[in-house]
Amino acid sequence: MDTYTAGKGTPKRPLPVALDAMGGDKAPAALVAGALLAVRGGTPVVLVGDRDVLGPLVPPGVDLPIHHCETAVAMDDSSPVAAVRSDREPSISVAVRLVAQGQASAAVSCGHTGAVMAAGLLRLGRLPMVERPAIMLVVPRIDGGTLVILDLGANVDCRPSQLVQFAVMGHAFAHALIGLPVPRVGLLSNGEEPGKGEQRVRDAGRLLAELPLNFVGNVEPTAAFKGACDVLVCDGFVGNVMLKTVEATAEVVGHILREEILRHPSAKAGAWLLRPALRRVRERTDYASQGGALLLGVKGVVVVGHGRSDAAAVRSAVVYAARCAAERVPERITQALSSLCQP
């Protein structure tokens, strides 16, 4: 039997990260390749998925066990909760269950975000005081600081009270994990004046102003990336559109730049000289390659990778997940939440 058994006979070995090897646009090849990169870098991984599919992709002699699982959630599955609950448990859910059972330190999936959310809720459960988990990304700001953004797609049609919860969780993460003494919390809006924004944003703003948080009010996207706040809170629909607009714009700019370079003969030489700088620009704006997003608010570490993740992005997500587990993110969020809610 080639299912994963580490941890039973080798108690001192660090727990592996459980990687859903069947989820993502480039699954399974990019997932296995990313896992191999992580393993070679010293992060143990267990692949979750069909052993008949995955086995041939793992080179002999590499310590990359496979936890067998026959089913996976399709990217267009409209009832992920049902998929996770079904008798034929999909790979996303199995990966998260290994965390709940203490057989893995963290779970990573580049698959169906709704299914990751469902698996997190059903297999791990919510942290105390958390109403809804949120998907959180940590990105570099252009002032050199760090911006925590949530929710990026776990919850649509949020109530104002849920936005407040995201603010509290984001504050707890920024304080406990990034080490900011007093993180500035902002609400994503279409204008910085308090009267701006949709109804839920205006209502959430009133609720946040009453909490012992450093709430800086409404923040527009440009201001957020320039440093107006450390934690940017939004409904998952708006947040996801914002994130995908960042990707779209970076792609459009790159496309137009290529077109213009081909049009100007002297620019070709310039582009050649600029190549290292342009590569760094791509790396610094490709948030997917920087580790993936964290499902914040469940009793365990679950990282949501980008659906389009290549091997390098998968490796980043696995390494990020292992780091969040080593840093005991869920426990520290719980501590921060209880100290914030009982001042």
| CA dist., res. 328 & res. 177, Å (int) | 9
Residues 200-219 that bind a second copy (CB under 8 A): 201
Q: Residue length, the chain?
A: 343
- Judged by CB under 8 A, the residue of 86, 101, 161, 245 near a second copy is 245
Shortest Cβ 97–a second copy spacing (Å): 25
State the Cα–Cα distance between residues 89 and 123, nearest whole angstrom: 11
What is the side-by-side strand order in the sheet with 17-20?
A: 66-68, 45-49, 17-20, 106-109, 301-304, 293-296, 134-140, 146-150, 231-233, 184-188, 214-219
Helix (H, G, I), strand (E, B) or coil at 106: strand
Considering only 14, 89, 203, 285, the residue that binds a second copy (CB under 8 A) is 285
Minimum distance from CB of 79 to a second copy (Å)?
Answer: 8
**Minimum distance of a second copy from residue 210's CB (angstroms):** 20
Give the interface segment with a second copy, choosing from 3-11, 87-95, 151-159, 324-332 (CB under 8 A): 151-159
Options 4, 173, 225, 320; binder of a second copy; rule CB under 8 A:
225
Contact pattern from residue 295 through residue 314 relative to a second copy, giving x for each residue in contact according to CB under 8 A and a dash for the rest: --------------------
Applying the rule CB under 8 A, the residues between 154 and 193 that interact with a second copy are: 156-157, 188-190, 193
Are 261 and 267 in contact by the 8 Å Cβ rule? The answer is: yes
* CA separation, residue 198 to residues 185, 201, 204, 205, 208 (Å): 18, 5, 10, 11, 15
Burial of 60 (0-12, 13-18, 19+ CB in 10 A): exposed
Size of interface with a second copy, in residues (CB under 8 A): 61
Angle at 48 between CA 46 and CA 50, to 5 degrees: 130
Q: Which one, 40 or 279, has the nearer CB to a second copy?
A: 279
Residues that bind a second copy (CB under 8 A): 76, 78, 142, 153, 156-157, 188-190, 193-195, 197-199, 201, 220-222, 224-225, 235-238, 240-242, 244-253, 255-257, 260-261, 263-264, 266-267, 269-278, 280-281, 284-285
